[in-house]
Amino acid sequence: MESGCRQPAAGDGKRFRPSKGLGQSFLTHLPTAEWIVNSLDPGPDDTVLEIGPGPGILTGRLAGRVRQVIAVEKDARLTGKLERALASSPGVEVVCGDFFEFDLAGLGPLKVLGNLPYSVSSQILFRLLDSVAEWTVAVLTCQREFAVRVLSAPGTRDYAPVGILLDRVCERERLFNIPAHRFRPRPDVVSTCFRLRRRQRPRYEPEDEELFRRVLRAAFSQRRKKLSNNLAAGFGLDKPGAVALLIEAGIEPGARAEQVEGERFRDLADRLAQRVASSSE
């Protein structure tokens, strides 16, 4: 797969310089790499999808412990290095391409590993959400502030849509923080490694997944405002209509989004879907 692969520029072969545009910051601390790989609980029958392997500090530790490693790297300068470094390692496939264009269908069940670029962590998680049937467990590293939102619970200031959507289909677990000095180039933030385990079945099912996500986006669009105001603005409702929907969904009319559990947002989205359907009849 070549689509989306960053081709080497003149001089790339002399000395590798991490790309700021790709958000490259590579883990260099070997014990931390070992902890991350062990957290995936790799076994001889596993296929592991690694997102952004970089120089391969995790890839090399997976090789030989699993049946196959599919390492998807966007920077062609790195894929060449990886292929040479791991040429003698069994079951390693290095793919030069963009994870957002990589087709996961038919590869599962996968385990997923990745040190996520901070600028696209959210997009990667949503891509994994959209393909949750293809993987069973993911061990991911990202900026600590974003990880807090991923792992957030109702009633906290960091409670966010991404945490709600993940909690519906995954068990979430914070593993450990990784200080900045364990990466090169050194980032300006602390990183957090966390684990997602796909549930055998989702905790609940919305009637319309896309509408459920739209409701969450609207609900959290202005966190300081009441949910009724955000709902009215997001869906073109008058205030009494928004309040009525909240009451039907079992939500206190004066609540803010951070106080509402995921199931209640599901109920709210389902009531909204029913109202739209009845108005179009």
Q: What is the mean pLDDT of residues 221-237?
A: 94
pLDDT, position 47: 97
How far, in Å, CA of 18 to CA of 49, rounded? 22
Task: Report how far apart the first and last C-alpha atoms of the chain are (Å, whole number).
Answer: 47
CA dihedral 256, 259, 262, 263 (to 10 degrees): -100
- For residues 142 and 190, the answer to whether their CB atoms sit within 8 Å is no
pLDDT digits (tens, 9 = 90+) for 250-273: 999 899 999 999 999 999 999 999
Q: What is the mean pLDDT of residues 50-54?
A: 94
Q: What is the mean pLDDT of residues 12-27?
A: 69
How far, in Å, CA of 143 to CA of 145, rounded? 6
- For residues 166 and 135, the answer to whether their CB atoms sit within 8 Å is no
Question: Can you give the pTM of this predicted structure?
Answer: 0.90
Query: Nearest-CA neighbor of 273 among 250, 245, 252?
Result: 245
Q: Is the pLDDT of residue 12 over 90?
A: no
Is the peptide bond preceding residue 55 cis, with omega within 30 degrees of 0? no
Confidence of residue 134 (pLDDT cuts 50, 70, 90): very high
Q: Is the pLDDT of residue 8 over 80?
A: no
Q: Please state, for a pLDDT cut of 70, what percent of the chain lies above it.
A: 90
How far, in Å, CA of 113 to CA of 233, rounded? 39
Mean pLDDT check: name the lowest of 10-19, 46-55, 197-206.
Answer: 10-19
Query: Nearest-CA neighbor of 161 among 213, 120, 201?
Result: 213
- Per CATH, which fold does 209-279 belong to? Helicase, Ruva Protein; domain 3 (1.10.8)
Q: Is the pLDDT of residue 278 over 80?
A: no
Mean residue pLDDT across the chain: 90
Kindly tell me the sign of the dihedral angle through the C-alpha atoms of 232, 238, 240, 241.
negative
Break the chain into its structural domains and give their ranges. 26-198, 209-279
How far, in Å, CA of 194 to CA of 148, rounded? 10
Q: What is the mean pLDDT of residues 195-203?
A: 97
Q: What angle do CA 235, 239, 245 make, to 5 degrees?
A: 70
pLDDT, position 21: 64
pLDDT digits (tens, 9 = 90+) for 59-108: 999 998 999 999 999 888 888 889 888 888 889 999 999 999 999 988 87
- Per CATH, which fold does 26-198 belong to? Rossmann fold (3.40.50)
Q: What is the mean pLDDT of residues 48-65?
A: 94
